[in-house]
Structure 1
Amino acid sequence: MPWTPDDAERHTHKATTKQLQALWAKVANDCLERTGDEGRAVREANAVVARNSDAD
């Protein structure tokens, strides 16, 4: 089942805006589709959101 932006808050505290939450869901779903590994998908999404939240 794909993740939604609302799921981001459960996995990372850095997804503080709707844009970051949408980004988290997109990265997680793309990675899950590519690799089939849920843990990796969450880690990659968390890393992308962390990089983007630090840039703000």
Structure 2
Amino acid sequence: MPWTAKDAERHTHKANSETLRALWVKVANETLERTGDEGRAIREANAVVARQSDETK
């Protein structure tokens, strides 16, 4: 089942804007489709959002 923006809010506090939540969803769903590993998908999405969040500061 694909993740939604609500899931992003549950998995990382850094997804604090609509843009970052959409990015998290995109990365998580693409990684899940590619690898089939939910844990890896969440970790990768969190890492991408964290990097993006740090770059905007």
What corresponds to 2:52 in structure 1? 52
Deviation at 1:5, TM superposition (A): 1.3
Per-residue CA deviations over 1:17-56 (Å, capped at 9, x if unaligned) read: 0000000000000000000000000000000000000011
Aligned match of 1:12: 12
Identify the residue that residue 2 of structure 2 maps to in structure 1.
Answer: 2
- Paired amino acid for 1:53: S
TM-score (norm 2): 0.96
Matching of residue 29 in structure 1 with residue 34 in structure 2: no
